[in-house]
Amino acid sequence: MRYGGNTPCVEVRCGAHTLIFDAGTGIRSLGNALVQTANTADFDIFLSHGHIDHMIGLPFFAPLFVKDQVVRVWAGSLQPAGGVREAVRKLMSFPFFPLQVDALHAEIEFHDFHAGEAINPRPGVILQTATLNHPGGAIG
């Protein structure tokens, strides 16, 4: 009720950088707001794990459909599924979705990492990752 009934998606502003944690249904309204108000053209999305409630909003993230936007998608728990690129490809494939990743206009980068790694998605931004206690595994 408090957050509008969306599945997980949290925006964190870190200086001029926009970091997005999980791509639940909330990322749709976030993406719509970002294309209208953000003064940046690149975004980092971190997927804690591949459960559908944490990924289902990704194909509806408006910056993916804007030329010259850069969207980096990061995950640390999807290597057993072939990596984050493969997980997103599966999400955006027949019969689940009408568009494939190749049809998106943004420049999309996919990055896999391992739990415990410190990752450096943007200059001056360092995230320390760790394994989360979640059925099937998750990394945050």
Summarize as ranges the residues that interact with Zn ion (CB under 5 A).
Answer: 51
Using CB atoms within 10 Å of the CB of residue 38, give its burial: 0 to 12 exposed, 13 to 18 middle, 19+ buried.
Answer: middle
Closest approach of Zn ion to the CB of residue 42, in Å: 27
Cβ nearer to Zn ion, comparing 22 with 42:
22
Alpha-carbon Rg for the chain in angstroms? 14
Cβ nearer to Zn ion, comparing 28 with 51:
51
Query: What is the end-to-end Cα distance of the chain in Å, rounded?
Result: 25
Closest approach of Zn ion to the CB of residue 122, in Å: 26
Q: Which residue has the tokens 């990704």?
A: 58
Cβ nearer to Zn ion, comparing 10 with 125:
10
Closest approach of Zn ion to the CB of residue 130, in Å: 16
